[in-house]
């Protein structure tokens, strides 16, 4: 960014930053704004040729008040086109995110939500999730992160949902907050935001005891999130943004300046290492860093203009050295191989190299998603939401915190895809 433009942008931000809730002294301000600049650049400079990342990015742009008319028009256009073409196929969480993104601005996008009856359609999808849980031992069609997104959007945009279902299905002990016995911080955080909205919902007639119950859920989930705290992060780096939002609205955690400093230090450090190079990852952390939560969607934000940066040209990779890694597929028994790939390769390159060596043992399929390629099948065995099965990715025995398209492998790594249940 050229110095003059940087100054202009910083100047505008000074007036717009409202880290009103917590982290007041240590949130992003004019002196440390440069830390978050890479996030804004990532979001501004991405191509958005695929539809997947639009809603998260548009939502954050609007929530924190970044006004880039060109991009807003492009993203909202893509979202509306997508809704028009495959509304029935959208999952509850996808439609909820679309509503949050479109509804985060008081313009014709809100009319689109209204005209296309998106909120009542979301109500139907939410109800279908509940019915699925009733019929299939408590498992939703998608997952609790999406169920929470749906509840949040319904609550913010006056949709219909049953308080009885909410108090029954969102108890903190529910198995859906966990993947293989591990509390999912992202999921818990989204539920805290949704339940906080429900507790504040003045449209709903709620008894004092129901209110207390929901407050109890929120407090318990917030405690579980805090229990996953580790050197400033909550869960891992990619869950920290949404966890921050949840703790902003539900606990005193960030009233403690030390906690706040620790989180910001860890997050800024990761930003400087380029960890948030995906627009969705940048979008999910930026709102919290600017003191905003998804509950602020319905209150308009101060706007400031930014001009689009020239895309940063990728630095050419250095000499193409080869590295040797082990790769295995584990179902009941394990199939091993060793492959040579270029230095700087990602997990997916290893999977491709193994597939070329032995198609029968190592064939696989992926599906493009907002986080990149999701491994859907290996050896012809497909992941299934219904059976709560998936292909887990591991390196040296540890689950990856990034996907197959992002995780860079190192010489000598022991990589594995493992048939797992969550
Ligand atoms: C639910 C969930 C899962 C479920 C998805 C299946 C289901 N029935 O719901 C399960 C448990 C299978 C899962 C698996 C994994 N997940 Co996951 N998951 C989530 C979670 C909590 C919500 C996703 C969601 O529903 N979003 C909302 C809907 C509307 O958006 P969507 O794009 O339609 O959602 C789909 C994709 O997100 C996809 N998906 C889910 N996880 C991942 C991970 C990757 C890398 C990809 C490419 C796609 C993908 O499944 C969703 C449902 O179809 C997110 C949290 C978050 N902050 O987003 C983490 C999250 C996306 N997952 C993550 C990771 C790391 C994984 C794994 C790589 C873990 C592992 N070591 O194996 C695997 C994926 C392996 C593979 N096969 O490719 C990270 C991604 C970080 C990154 N920078 O890439 C996140 C952000 C969690 C975190 N904080 O670490 N996940």
For the ranges 261-275, 316-330, 364-378, 393-407, which has the lowest average pLDDT? 316-330
Query: Whose alpha carbon is nearest atom 75 of ligand 1?
Result: 392
Q: Is the CB of 375 under 6 A from ligand 1?
A: yes
Per-residue b or e along 113-144, where b marks 16 or more CB atoms closer than 10 Å to that residue's CB = beebebbebbbebbbebbebbeeeeebbbbbb
Q: Is the CB of 347 under 6 A from ligand 1?
A: no
* CA gap 23, 248 in Å, rounded: 9
261 vs 233, 238, 269, 271, 275, CA distance in Å?
A: 11, 18, 12, 15, 19
Residues 6+ apart with CB under 8 A from 205: none
Q: Is the CB of 93 under 6 A from ligand 1?
A: yes
pLDDT of residue 27: 57
State the residue for tokens 């979202």: 79
For the ranges 140-149, 200-209, 314-323, which has the lowest average pLDDT? 314-323
Transcribe 97-156 into DSSP letters.
HHHHHHHTSSSHHHHHHHHTTHHHHHHHHHHHHHHHHHHTTT--SS-HHHHHHHHHHHHH
CA 235 to centroid of ligand 1, rounded, Å = 14
Structural class in CATH, domain 322-421:
mainly beta
| Positions of E strands within 152-302 | 178-179, 182-183, 229-230, 233-234
Q: Is the CB of 401 under 6 A from ligand 1?
A: yes
Q: Which of 83, 101, 403 to mutate to test the pocket of ligand 1 (most atoms within 8 A of CB)?
A: 403
Q: Give the nearest ligand 1 atom to 404 CA.
A: 78
Q: Give the nearest ligand 1 atom to 187 CA.
A: 21
Query: Whose alpha carbon is nearest atom 23 of ligand 1?
Result: 145
Q: Give the nearest ligand 1 atom to 366 CA.
A: 78
Q: Is the CB of 420 under 6 A from ligand 1?
A: no
CA 320 to centroid of ligand 1, rounded, Å = 31
CA 392 to centroid of ligand 1, rounded, Å = 11
How many residues are listed for the chain in this entry? 422
CA 75 to centroid of ligand 1, rounded, Å = 22
Domain limits, the chain:
16-305, 322-421
Structural class in CATH, domain 16-305:
mainly alpha
13 exposure class (CB count in 10 Å sphere: 0-12, 13-18, 19+): buried
CA 47 to centroid of ligand 1, rounded, Å = 22
Residue-wise pLDDT tens digits, 3-53:
333 333 433 443 334 343 445 545 566 667 788 999 999 999 998 887 676
pLDDT of residue 198: 97
Name the nearest CA neighbour of 301 among 63, 44, 51, 135.
63
CB neighbours of residue 182 within 10 Å: 12
pLDDT of residue 24: 56
Residue 239 pLDDT more than 80? yes
How are beta strands 364-369 and 414-421 bridged, if at all?
unpaired
7 vs 3, 4, 31, 304, 309, CA distance in Å?
A: 6, 5, 11, 13, 14
End-to-end CA distance of the chain, in Å? 44
* CA gap 38, 409 in Å, rounded: 24
Mean pLDDT computed over every residue of the chain: 89
What is the pLDDT confidence band of residue 310, given thresholds at 50, 70 and 90? very low
154 exposure class (CB count in 10 Å sphere: 0-12, 13-18, 19+): buried
Q: Is the CB of 243 under 6 A from ligand 1?
A: no
* CA gap 390, 378 in Å, rounded: 10
Q: Is the CB of 344 under 6 A from ligand 1?
A: no
Residue-wise pLDDT tens digits, 364-381:
999 999 999 999 999 999
pLDDT of residue 373: 97
Q: Give the nearest ligand 1 atom to 372 CA.
A: 47
Tell me the mean pLDDT in the region 226-233: 96
Query: Whose alpha carbon is nearest atom 86 of ligand 1?
Result: 238
Residue-wise pLDDT tens digits, 70-92:
999 999 999 999 999 999 999 99
pLDDT of residue 50: 72
CA 10 to centroid of ligand 1, rounded, Å = 34
* CA gap 51, 104 in Å, rounded: 19
Q: Is the CB of 74 under 6 A from ligand 1?
A: no
Based on C-alpha coordinates, what's the Rg of the chain? 22
Q: Is the CB of 399 under 6 A from ligand 1?
A: yes
Q: Which of 143, 386, 417 to mutate to test the pocket of ligand 1 (most atoms within 8 A of CB)?
A: 143
Q: Is the CB of 183 under 6 A from ligand 1?
A: no
269 exposure class (CB count in 10 Å sphere: 0-12, 13-18, 19+): middle
* CA gap 29, 14 in Å, rounded: 7
pLDDT of residue 287: 94
pLDDT of residue 23: 59
Tell me the mean pLDDT in the region 380-399: 96
What is the pLDDT confidence band of residue 403, given thresholds at 50, 70 and 90? very high
CA 195 to centroid of ligand 1, rounded, Å = 22
Contact indicator for 281, 275 with CB cutoff of 8 Å? yes
Q: Is the CB of 59 under 6 A from ligand 1?
A: no
């Amino acid at each position: 960014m050229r110095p003059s433009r940087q100054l202009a942008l910083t100047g505008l931000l000074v007036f717009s930053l409202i880290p009103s809730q917590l982290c007041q002294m240590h949130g992003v301000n004019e002196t440390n704004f440069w830390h978050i600049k890479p996030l804004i650049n990532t979001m501004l400079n991405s191509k958005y040729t695929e539809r997947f990342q639009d809603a998260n990015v548009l939502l954050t742009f609007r929530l924190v008040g970044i006004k880039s008319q060109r991009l807003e028009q492009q993203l909202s256009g893509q979202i509306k086109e997508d809704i028009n073409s495959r509304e029935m196929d959208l999952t509850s969480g996808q439609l909820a995110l679309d509503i949050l993104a479109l509804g985060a601005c008081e313009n014709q996008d809100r009319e689109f939500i209204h005209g296309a009856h998106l909120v009542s359609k979301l109500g139907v999808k939410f109800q279908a999730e509940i019915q699925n849980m009733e019929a299939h031992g408590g498992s939703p069609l998608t997952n609790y992160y999406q169920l929470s997104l749906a509840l949040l959007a319904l609550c913010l945009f006056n949709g219909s949902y049953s308080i009885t279902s909410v108090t029954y299905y969102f108890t903190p002990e529910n198995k859906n907050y966990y993947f293989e016995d591990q509390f999912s911080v992202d999921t818990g955080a989204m539920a805290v935001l949704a339940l906080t909205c429900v507790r504040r919902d003045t449209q709903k007639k709620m008894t004092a005891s129901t209110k207390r119950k929901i407050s109890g859920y929120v407090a318990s989930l917030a405690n579980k999130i805090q229990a996953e705290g580790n050197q400033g992060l909550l869960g891992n780096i990619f869950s920290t943004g949404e966890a921050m939002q949840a703790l902003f609205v539900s606990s005193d955690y960030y009233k403690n300046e030390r906690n706040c400093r620790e989180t910001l230090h860890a997050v800024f450090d990761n930003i400087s290492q380029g960890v948030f190079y995906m627009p969705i990852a940048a979008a999910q952390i930026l709102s919290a860093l600017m003191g905003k939560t998804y509950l602020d969607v319905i209150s308009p934000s101060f706007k400031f203009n930014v001009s689009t940066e020239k895309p940063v040209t990728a630095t050419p990779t250095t000499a193409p050295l080869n590295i040797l890694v082990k790769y295995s597929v584990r179902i009941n028994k394990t199939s091993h191989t060793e492959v040579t790939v270029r230095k700087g390769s990602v997990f997916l390159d290893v999977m491709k190299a193994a597939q070329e060596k032995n198609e029968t043992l190592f064939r696989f399929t992926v599906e493009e998603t907002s986080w990149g390629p999701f491994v859907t099948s290996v050896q012809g065995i497909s992941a299934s939401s219904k059976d709560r099965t998936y292909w887990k990715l591991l390196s040296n025995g540890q689950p990856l915190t990034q996907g197959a398209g992002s995780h860079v492998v190192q010489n000598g790594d022991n990589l594995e895809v493992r048939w797992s249940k969550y």
